Amino acid sequence: MRYRRNGVPDKRAPKTCSYCGEPVGRKGAKGYCGKHYARFARHGDPSISLIDRENAGAPCTECGEPAVARGLCSKCWQRWNKHGDPSIVLPGGREGSRKYTLNHAYFEDITTPEQAYWLGFLTADGGVIKNAKTYALRLELAEVDAEQVQMFADAMGSNKPLWNRRGCVGVSLDSWRLVESLGYLGIGPRKSATVEPWNGPEHLMPHYWRGLFDGDGCICRSCGRWQMSIVGSEACVHEFATWARGITGSRAKAIRIKHAAACWQWVLGSSRMAVPLARELYANAPVALKRKQLLAGEILGG
């Protein structure tokens, strides 16, 4: 029983992963950390990555589509995982007849301003569902921002209709490969208080920060002065504040919100300092939330 539970017959479970030396994820993880136990549970071998990045883009050995695991595409891998044979179609043929289009590889390599922007926006407002039955990426905004949701769906290559309910508009994209790619970038379920910012190329970071600001930022006019502020996880707010201070010369620091222990805020309360920040974020932006881009235009025009 000890061997089945911990991978060793000793009385005490090992405290470090037998494969990489990292702390063991949980009791009953057979002596592996969370990452290598997931690989072991899925493939029977902790050395096999959930997404084979070394052979990314290689054709599936079964159907020729891009492979993601064990030399199989996501569709054939699901068949293999359920039946042990990638040629067997799941009951009802669900994955064999995808009704809508989707670019499953969109976040596997962030090289364009648009990809960096949507990564930032999803860091703030995206929702990831990952469990035994569902792998989905969801975006839901108020009706006033319906155009933003449609822009996101278009960027993802999806022709799936948006839903509209209780004053909100959203879209849900079902893709194991998409969810796993975002997981490698730090975006997973229940991320709001713990998510950390992306560390990308310098020329793409303004686009990433604009996406994050469009999701969690605010532009308003108070007492005749323009204010720009952002809320979110401690790591994201601190990194955005550091980047913004380098542009504006502000000395404002990020602070913890009193009644939300896991939520932090940074406020820039100077119209003069708001001008360079608005220019860096929104001037000639290839993609942005329209209402905030209009407010930034008022800052730059005033």
Question: Three-state DSSP class for 89?
Answer: coil
CA distance 99 to 15: 46
CA distance 292 to 127: 22
CA distance 297 to 243: 21
Beta-bridge mates of residue 59: 66
CA distance 264 to 69: 38
| Strand residues in 143-181 grouped as ranges (E) | 163-165, 168-174
CA distance 180 to 273: 39
Which string of b and e fits 40-62 if b means at least 16 CB within 10 Å? beeeeebeebbbbeeeeeeebeb
Q: Which of 80-89, 207-216, 218-227, 243-252 has the lowest mean pLDDT?
A: 80-89
Tell me what pLDDT residue 39 has. Answer: 75
Within the chain, how many helices (H) and strands (E) appear? Answer: 10, 8
Each residue's pLDDT tens digit, 24-40: 766 556 777 877 877 77
Is 148 within 8 Å of 182 (Cβ atoms)?
A: no
- Only one residue has tokens 């896991």, namely 262
Tell me what pLDDT residue 166 has. Answer: 85
Pick 46 or 138 by higher pLDDT.
138
CA distance 102 to 195: 25
Tell me what pLDDT residue 193 has. Answer: 80
| Strand residues in 45-131 grouped as ranges (E) | 126-130
| Strand residues in 79-158 grouped as ranges (E) | 126-130, 135-142
CA distance 21 to 70: 25
At 115, give phi and psi (nearest 5°): -65, -45
Domains of the chain: 2-43 (no CATH), 49-90 (no CATH), 113-184 (3.10.28.10), 205-301 (3.10.28.10)
Total Cβ atoms within 10 A of residue 173: 22
Ordered strands of the 163-165 beta sheet: 126-130, 135-142, 168-174, 163-165
Structure tokens at 49: 């990555």
CA distance 39 to 16: 16
Measuring CA to CA, which residue among 128, 271, 247 is closest to residue 187? 128
Q: pTM above 0.85?
A: no
Each residue's pLDDT tens digit, 155-191: 999 999 999 988 999 999 988 889 989 999 989 888 8
Each residue's pLDDT tens digit, 123-167: 999 999 987 778 899 999 999 999 999 999 999 999 999 999 889
Structure tokens at 130: 């990952």
CA distance 246 to 249: 6
At 71, give phi and psi (nearest 5°): 75, 15
